[in-house]
A and B are shown apart, each in its own frame.
Chain A
Amino acid sequence: MSMNKLDQLYRSVIMDHYKKPRNKGVIDDSNVSIDMNNPTCGDRIHLSIKVEDGIVVDAKFEGEGCSISMSSASMMTQAIKGKTTEEAVKLAQVFSEMMLGHDHDDSLDLGDVEALSGVSQFPARIKCATLSWKAMEKGIKEANL
Chain B
Amino acid sequence: MIKTNIRGYFPILDQEVNGHPLVYLDSAATTQKPIQVLEAVKHYYEFENSNVHRGVHTLGNRATDAYEGAREKVRKFINANSTEEIIFTKGTTNSLNMVALSYGRANVGEGDEIVITYMEHHSNLIPWQQLAKEKNATLKYIDMNPDGTLSMDKVKEAITDRTKIVAIAYASNVLGTLNPVKEIAAVAHAHGAVMVVDGAQGVPHFKTDVQDLDCDFLAFSGHKMCGPTGIGVLYGKKEHLEAMNPIDFGGEMISIVGLYESTWADLPWKFEGGTPNIAGAIGLGAAIDFLEEIGMDNIIEHEQRLTRYAIEQLSAIEGVSIYGPQDAAKRSGLVTFNLDGVHPHDVATVLDMEGIAVRAGHHCAQPLMKWLECSATARASFYIYNTEADIDRLVEGLRNAKEYFADVNE
Contacts and interface: CB of A to CB of B under 8 A. Distances in A.
* Residue of B346, B350, B400, B408 with highest tally of chain A CB at under 10 A: B408
Interface stretch (A40-48, A80-88, A132-140): A40-48
A125 B345 contact: yes
A44 B375 contact: yes
B69 interface: no
Nearest to B399: A1
B105 to A, nearest CB: 27
B364 to A, nearest CB: 9
Nearest to B396: A1
Contacts of B404: 3, 6, 10
B101 interface: no
Interface in A1-31: 1-3, 5-6, 9-10, 12, 15, 19
Interface string A73-105: 000000000000000000000000000000000
A42 B338 CA distance: 14
Contacts of A68: 345-346
Interface in A37-78: 40-44, 64-69
Nearest to B347: A66
B333 interface: no
A128 B348 CA distance: 13
Contacts of B345: 41, 43, 65-69, 125, 128
A43 B346 contact: no
B362 interface: yes
A124 B349 contact: yes
Interface string B336-370: 00000001111001101110000011100010010
Nearest to A125: B349
B379 to A, nearest CB: 13
B258 interface: no
A42 B349 contact: no
Contact of A41 (B354, B360, B400): B360
A131 to B, nearest CB: 12
Contacts of A3: 353, 404
Given A42-B369, A42-B375, A66-B344, A6 B350 contact: yes
B251 to A, nearest CB: 35
B400 to A, nearest CB: 5
Contact of B343 (A19, A67, A122): A67
A8 B409 CA distance: 16
A111 B353 CA distance: 28
B354 A15 contact: no
Contacts of A67: 343, 345-346
A56 B404 CA distance: 37
Interface in B357-409: 360-362, 366, 369, 375-376, 400, 404, 408-409
Contact of A42 (B19, B350, B366, B400): B366
A15 B344 contact: no
B25 to A, nearest CB: 16
Contacts of A9: 349
Contacts of A42: 361-362, 366, 369, 375-376
A65 B349 contact: no
A1 B366 contact: no
A122 B349 contact: yes
A66 B339 CA distance: 12
Nearest to A38: B361
Contacts of B343: 65-67
A5 B349 CA distance: 11
B323 to A, nearest CB: 15
A67 B400 CA distance: 17
A6 B409 CA distance: 14
Interface string B15-58: 00011000000000000000000000000000000000000000
B354 A10 contact: no
Given A44-B375, A128-B345, A15 B409 contact: yes
B353 A5 contact: yes
A12 B362 contact: no
Interface of B: 18-19, 343-346, 349-350, 352-354, 360-362, 366, 369, 375-376, 400, 404, 408-409
Return the 10 tightest CB-CB contacts between A and B, nearest first.
A66-B345, A66-B343, A42-B362, A41-B361, A15-B408, A42-B375, A42-B376, A64-B375, A1-B400, A67-B346
30 contacts: A1-B353, A1-B354, A1-B400, A2-B19, A5-B18, A9-B349, A10-B408, A12-B408, A15-B408, A15-B409, A41-B360, A42-B361, A42-B362, A42-B369, A42-B375, A42-B376, A43-B376, A44-B375, A64-B375, A65-B343, A66-B343, A66-B345, A66-B346, A67-B343, A68-B346, A69-B345, A122-B349, A124-B349, A124-B352, A125-B349
Interface of A: 1-3, 5-6, 9-10, 12, 15, 19, 40-44, 64-69, 122, 124-125, 128
Given A41-B361, A69-B345, 12 more contacts: A1-B400, A6-B404, A9-B349, A10-B408, A15-B408, A40-B361, A64-B375, A65-B343, A65-B345, A122-B349, A124-B352, A128-B345
